[in-house]
C-alpha cells in the first residue's frame, strides 16, 4: 500500500523540482493525447515548444509574439499571486481584465477624434481604476458580509462578459464600421496606439509594465512589511492577527492590487495587440494567469518564467493547429494539464510516499 506521510517541513528540493516535473509530465501526457488524435506526438511537442523559437520559417514572427502573449499573463499573475500568498482567492481576474479594457477604451473613445498625447496615459489610469473597482465588489462583500470571494469574483466574470457583448453591439460600436460589432481600432489611432517600443521585439508598454510589476512584487515580498504580512497571513492567519495584521485591510489590498493589474493588462491589450473592443476580446488570460501564478510558485521571478512558458504554448499551439491540424480544444486541454500535474506533484512538497501496510 502506498501511503502519504506528512513532512516535518516543506521540502525545498521538491519545491524547485515540482514545476519542472509538471512540465515533463504534461509533455508525456500531451504526447499521448496527440497520438490518440492520430498525430505524431514528437512532432506535436516539437511544434509547440521548439519551432516558435528556433524554426527559421517561424521564429522571426513567433519570438516577438512571445513577449506580446506573456505580458498580460505575467501582469495578471503577479497580482493574483499576492492574494494567493495571503489566502485571498481572486478567481475573477478575467472579469477585471474585461472591465479595465472597457473603462480605458471607453474613456479614449469618448475623446475621439481629439489628438492629444495625454489620452493614452489617461486611458491607462482609468483602465487600472476599472479593474480595481470591479475587484472591490468581492472585496467589500467579503469584508462586510463574509461572502466567499471565490464565488463572487468568478460569477462577476460572466457579468463582465455580458457587459462586453453589450458594449460591442451598443455604446462602443464603431459608427463607421458598417454595422459590425466592435469599437474603433484604438491601435490605429495615434493618441492611443500602444506600439512597439523597440521594433521587432514585441516590447510595448504592457510588457514593460509587466517586468516592472515583477520587480515591484519582489521588493514588496522581500523588503517591505506588507510582504511579510502577506506571507504570514497565508501561513498562519492566527499568528498574523496576533502580529497586528488587519484581515479586512489585507483582503482589500490584495483584491485591489490584483484587480488594478488585471485592468492594466486589459487596457494595454485593447490599445495594442487586440486593437478594439469586440465580443471575443477576452481570450482567457485571466484564467490562464492562475496556472502561471502556481506554475511560478507564487514567486515573481518564477511567474516571469512561467508566463514566458505559457505564452510559448499559446504560440506553439496556434502553430500546431495551423501546421498539424490539431484542434483548439486539444491545445487548451494541454495547457490545463500543466495545472493538473503541478497540483498533483505538489503534494510531494509536503508529504512523503511510503510503501507498506498501515500500522
Q: What pLDDT sits at residue 33?
A: 96
Q: In this predicted structure, what is the pLDDT of residue 357? A: 60
Q: Where are the domains of the chain?
A: 40-325
- Compute, in degrees rounded to 10, the torsion defined by CA atoms 27, 33, 39, 42: 20
Is 4 within 8 Å of 348 (Cβ atoms)?
no
In this prediction the pTM is 0.93
Per-residue cell: 297: 510558485
b/e code 11-47 from CB counts within 10 Å (16+ = b):
beebeeebbebbbebbbeebbebbeeeebebeebbeb
pLDDT for position 294: 92
What is the topology classification, in CATH, of domain 40-325?
Answer: ABC transporter involved in vitamin B12 uptake, BtuC (1.10.3470)
Helices (H) and strands (E) in the chain, counts: 15, 2
Contact indicator for 33, 341 with CB cutoff of 8 Å: no
Q: What is the predicted pLDDT for the residue at 358?
A: 54
* pLDDT value of position 239: 84
pLDDT (0 to 100) of residue 135: 98
Run means of pLDDT, 10 residues per run, the chain, 359 residues: 83 88 94 95 94 88 91 97 95 97 96 94 98 98 95 97 95 89 93 90 94 97 92 86 88 97 97 93 91 93 95 93 92 89 88 73
Amino acid at each position: 500500500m502506498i501511503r502519504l506521510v506528512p513532512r516535518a517541513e516543506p521540502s525545498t528540493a521538491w519545491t524547485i523540482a515540482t514545476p519542472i516535473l509538471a512540465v515533463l509530465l504534461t509533455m508525456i501526457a500531451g504526447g499521448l493525447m496527440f497520438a490518440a488524435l492520430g498525430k505524431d506526438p514528437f512532432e506535436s511537442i516539437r511544434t509547440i515548444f521548439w519551432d516558435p523559437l528556433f524554426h527559421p520559417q517561424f521564429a522571426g514572427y513567433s519570438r516577438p509574439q512571445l513577449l506580446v502573449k506573456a505580458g498580460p499573463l505575467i501582469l495578471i499573475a503577479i497580482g493574483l499571486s499576492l492574494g494567493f500568498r495571503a489566502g485571498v482567492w481572486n478567481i475573477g481576474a478575467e472579469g477585471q481584465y474585461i472591465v479595465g479594457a472597457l473603462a480605458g477604451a471607453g474613456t479614449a473613445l469618448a475623446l475621439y477624434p481629439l489628438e492629444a498625447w495625454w489620452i493614452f496615459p489617461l486611458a491607462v489610469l482609468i483602465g487600472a481604476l476599472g479593474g480595481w473597482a470591479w475587484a472591490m465588489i468581492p472585496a467589500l462583500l467579503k469584508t462586510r458580509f463574509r461572502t466567499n470571494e471565490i464565488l463572487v469574483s468568478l460569477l462577476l466574470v460572466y457579468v463582465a462578459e455580458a457587459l462586453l457583448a453589450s458594449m460591442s453591439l451598443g455604446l462602443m460600436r464603431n459608427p463607421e464600421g458598417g454595422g459590425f460589432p466592435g469599437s474603433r481600432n484604438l491601435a490605429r489611432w495615434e493618441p492611443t496606439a500602444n506600439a512597439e517600443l523597440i521594433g521587432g521585439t514585441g516590447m510595448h508598454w504592457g510588457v514593460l509594465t509587466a517586468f516592472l510589476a515583477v520587480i515591484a512584487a519582489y521588493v514588496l515580498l522581500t523588503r517591505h512589511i506588507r510582504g511579510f504580512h502577506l506571507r504570514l497571513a497565508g501561513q498562519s492567519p492566527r499568528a498574523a492577527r496576533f502580529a497586528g495584521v488587519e484581515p479586512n485591510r489585507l483582503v482589500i489590498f490584495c483584491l485591489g492590487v490584483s484587480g488594478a493589474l488585471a485592468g492594466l493588462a486589459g487596457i494595454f491589450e485593447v490599445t495594442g495587440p487586440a486593437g478594439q473592443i469586440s465580443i471575443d476580446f477576452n481570450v482567457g488570460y485571466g484564467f490562464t494567469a492562475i496556472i502561471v501564478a502556481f506554475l511560478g510558485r507564487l514567486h515573481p521571478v518564477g511567474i516571469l518564467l512561467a508566463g514566458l512558458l505559457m505564452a510559448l504554448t499559446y504560440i506553439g499551439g496556434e502553430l500546431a493547429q495551423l501546421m498539424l491540424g490539431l484542434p483548439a480544444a486539444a491545445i487548451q486541454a494541454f495547457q490545463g494539464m500543466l495545472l493538473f500535474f503541478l497540483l498533483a506533484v505538489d503534494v510531494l512538497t509536503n508529504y512523503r510516499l511510503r510503501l507498506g501496510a498501515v500500522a
